[in-house]
């Protein structure tokens, strides 16, 4: 295929808009289409972490024990409805088969090029027209017990052993208080993860969309179901182009299944809300015991957590936000929990082997999705690598492990 001159990108989240932006950087005209609009899926209300140091795959063996316990505890961080459909149970069975160290290490090693390139991709965007701040700060993991601290340090050692070293510093109780003024007496130790960043994800993705528009791109709102793939190009609801990129997050299977993508993608829904605080929050906070991420946000604190396996369009379950609040309230002081606002749920696109789907599924057709909890961190570098492939005709070695047809 000759160098494409135009592309239609389906999906206006961070992955799709990054692909569009980097395609424009290589001289390709782009039209982005989305059924709802910019940042309408998992890209708006997540924790906002650009954290290559914490892209730890979920498919470690201990998750199997966590999952079994969660079936009996409706307030657990992992929520699997007992009435789940057969397709979800099939997904979970395949995920369980991948909960072994060999598969976990494969996911760590596959993610290395994305981690290595993610900060530079953000720097490229913000230096060239994406007008949104990306702040540098360590992530402070705050722990209740010595056992939790030992387990987190063990996880970081496993990452290093798998080829992904993470710079970190252990903190005692007093050092944790200095780093995190909100810490309650229930938190006894900490680990500071160095070299990370955070941002307001909704504001960033909207700034990215404005940059795409300013460079001559178009963004249209409709559901892309009428796809005509021809030898000489593609047509999406009357929009003709040379190539098609599908980056629809948890909805990816609705289009990708027709092209032989066999790795299932399911929505692991995360919840967030915002609360006012009476003490400073110098940077992101991770509470491993509660599986909750907290981020400075609009003068308060965005609190994000839970993994709920339901359909991506299902309504929010306020009991999940209540469960997050109950788990974190004893750990942080100076937080006005009763003034909680902006409760949100977003469907993170999970795969069964911990690796996203990025690449060609047939001539002129590419997919990008399944990044799980790390879509914000890996979205821009995914867009950059995919744009390189589309315009050069050569698959970057970094994308080999993410073959959508594996």
Question: What are the pLDDT digits (tens) for 120-150?
Answer: 999 999 999 999 999 999 999 999 998 999 9
pLDDT score for 182: 96
Domain boundaries, the chain: 6-402
Residue 227 pLDDT level (bands cut at 50, 70, 90): confident
pLDDT score for 76: 77
pLDDT score for 275: 98
pLDDT score for 72: 59
Residue 316 pLDDT level (bands cut at 50, 70, 90): very high
Mean pLDDT within 147-171: 94
Residue 255 pLDDT level (bands cut at 50, 70, 90): very high
Given its phi and psi angles, is residue 131 left (phi above 0), alpha (psi -120 to 50 degrees) or beta?
Answer: beta
pLDDT score for 355: 97
Residue 317 pLDDT level (bands cut at 50, 70, 90): very high
pTM value is: 0.94
pLDDT score for 17: 98
Mean pLDDT within 194-218: 97
* CATH class assigned to 6-402: alpha beta
pLDDT score for 70: 63
pLDDT at 368 over 90: yes
pLDDT at 341 over 80: yes
pLDDT at 356 over 90: yes
pLDDT at 1 over 70: no
Which tens digit of pLDDT belongs to each residue from 20-69?
Answer: 999 999 999 999 999 999 998 889 999 999 999 899 999 999 887 776 66
Q: What is the mean pLDDT of the chain?
A: 94
Mean pLDDT within 61-90: 77
pLDDT score for 303: 98
pLDDT score for 226: 78
């Amino acid at each position: 295929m000759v160098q494409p001159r135009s592309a239609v990108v389906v999906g206006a989240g961070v992955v799709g808009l990054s692909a569009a932006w980097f395609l424009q950087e290589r001289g390709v005209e782009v039209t982005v289409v989305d059924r709802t609009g910019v940042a309408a899926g998992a890209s708006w209300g997540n924790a906002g972490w650009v954290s290559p140091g914490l892209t730890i795959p979920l498919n470690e063996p201990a998750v199997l024990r966590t999952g079994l316990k969660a079936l009996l505890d409706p307030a657990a961080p992992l929520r699997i409805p007992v009435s789940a459909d057969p397709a979800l149970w099939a997904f979970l069975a395949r995920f369980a088969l991948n909960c072994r160290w060999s598969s976990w290490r494969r996911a760590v090693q596959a993610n290395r090029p994305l981690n290595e390139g993610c900060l530079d991709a953000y720097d490229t965007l913000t230096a060239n027209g994406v007008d949104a701040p990306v702040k540098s700060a360590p992530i402070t993991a705050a722990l209740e017990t010595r056992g939790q601290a030992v387990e987190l340090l063990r996880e970081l050692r496993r990452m290093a052993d798998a080829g992904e070293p993470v710079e970190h510093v252990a903190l005692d109780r007093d050092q944790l208080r200095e780093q995190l003024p909100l810490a309650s007496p229930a938190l006894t130790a900490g680990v500071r993860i160095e070299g990370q960043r955070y941002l307001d994800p909704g504001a960033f993705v909207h700034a990215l969309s404005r940059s795409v528009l300013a460079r001559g791109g178009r963004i249209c709102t409709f559901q892309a179901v009428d796809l005509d793939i021809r030898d000489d190009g593609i047509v999406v609801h009357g929009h003709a182009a040379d190539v098609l990129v599908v980056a629809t997050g948890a909805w990816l299977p609705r289009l990708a299944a027709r092209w032989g993508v066999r790795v299932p993608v399911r929505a692991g829904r995360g919840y967030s809300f915002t609360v006012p605080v009476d003490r400073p929050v110098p940077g992101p906070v991770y509470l491993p015991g509660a599986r909750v991420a907290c981020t400075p946000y609009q003068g308060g604190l965005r609190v994000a957590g839970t993994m709920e396996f339901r359909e991506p369009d299902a309504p929010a379950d306020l009991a999940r936000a209540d469960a997050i609040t109950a788990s974190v309230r004893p750990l942080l002081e100076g937080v006005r929990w009763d003034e909680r606002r902006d409760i949100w749920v977003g469907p993170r696109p999970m795969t069964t082997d911990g690796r996203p789907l990025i690449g060609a599924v047939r001539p002129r057709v590419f997919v990008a999705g399944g990044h799980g909890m790390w879509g914000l961190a890996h979205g821009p570098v995914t867009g950059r690598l995919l744009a390189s492939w589309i315009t050069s005709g050569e698959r970057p070695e970094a994308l080999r492990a993410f073959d959508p047809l594996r």
